[in-house]
Structure 1
């Protein structure tokens, strides 16, 4: 199973989506965009289907996404994750991301109210 690169149809301009498939089954996907003003790769979303977790699909998708960022000349990769998603924070740390900031108000008025947004980044 190898990730396939696909441009997102519709949605935000400049969003790039890479998917992982096993036959016809969608195993996971990463969505990212290049932020030109600060020359960073924004990881908007990384998901792996529950039945496919623990098989290295997430790290493989992230590596493909980071390689895409390097091709664009991005200097860093950046993402946001909620503080209650400890498994994701651990995975991102293993992928070389480090905490670079937080926001205690980002989720105010949402279903995630009370959580803290953690911002993580890594050099490319």
Structure 2
């Protein structure tokens, strides 16, 4: 695997873990350099369906995934240097990631991803519901995210949480959740 740029220095983060998830043995922590292998594996799982359709030797697939993961990581740490880069653990084993940028009144879920065994169990929706409640409490106007066109399950979940389609950006749909009218507060932070 290629050498990756470091995550921003570990710091306190504002994202809270829902009580239900804490009771089930989940925890959030800042991502560190030693998480690179796990994050690369998580990235590969996020592209598994796509890669299953490609007729390349396994070595070529691995090299491609390595390079794409490295490019994505560089992009995230460069363009979202102020974001929270969090790893979700279950009973001390990494199972997902949540990268959140809390810039001014418009927050962005830079990325959210779970290992296959943890999908479809309400973990992602609980994390997002907690984040939306925090956005409302902290005076944000909206929370946005991007979803791949072919990721029907994620798109459905986001719509159920109140996200609405905005624009197509390449192969991704930009979706935005607006703080309900009358609930925005002046952000004095």
TM-score w.r.t. the length of structure 1 is 0.73
Question: Are 1:100 and 2:166 matched, yes or no?
Answer: yes
Query: Residue 151 of structure 2: which of 71, 76, 85 is its match?
Result: 85
Residue 84 of structure 2 corresponds to which residue in structure 1? 16
Question: Is the contact between residue 5 and residue 17 of structure 1 (CA under 8 Å) also seen in structure 2?
Answer: no
Closer, same or farther in 2 for the Cα pair 1:79/1:122, shift >3 Å? Answer: same
Q: Deviations over 1:53-112 (max 9, x none)?
A: 121110111123224433542110111112111121111111211111223xx3xxxxxx
Question: Is the contact between residue 30 and residue 85 of structure 2 (CA under 8 Å) also seen in structure 1?
Answer: yes
Residue 27 of structure 2 corresponds to which residue in structure 1? 4
Closer, same or farther in 2 for the Cα pair 1:49/1:89, shift >3 Å? Answer: same
Task: Show structure 2 runs of 5+ residues with no match.
Answer: 1-20, 34-76, 180-189
Residue 120 of structure 1 corresponds to which residue in structure 2? 175
Residue 115 of structure 2 corresponds to which residue in structure 1? 49
| Larger CA Rg, structure 1 vs 2 | 2
Closer, same or farther in 2 for the Cα pair 1:101/1:117, shift >3 Å? Answer: same
| RMSD, aligned CA | 2.3
Closer, same or farther in 2 for the Cα pair 1:6/1:74, shift >3 Å? Answer: farther
C-alpha displacement at 1:122, in angstroms?
0.8
TM-score w.r.t. the length of structure 2 is 0.51
Question: Is the contact between residue 19 and residue 61 of structure 1 (CA under 8 Å) also seen in structure 2?
Answer: no
C-alpha displacement at 1:35, in angstroms?
2.6
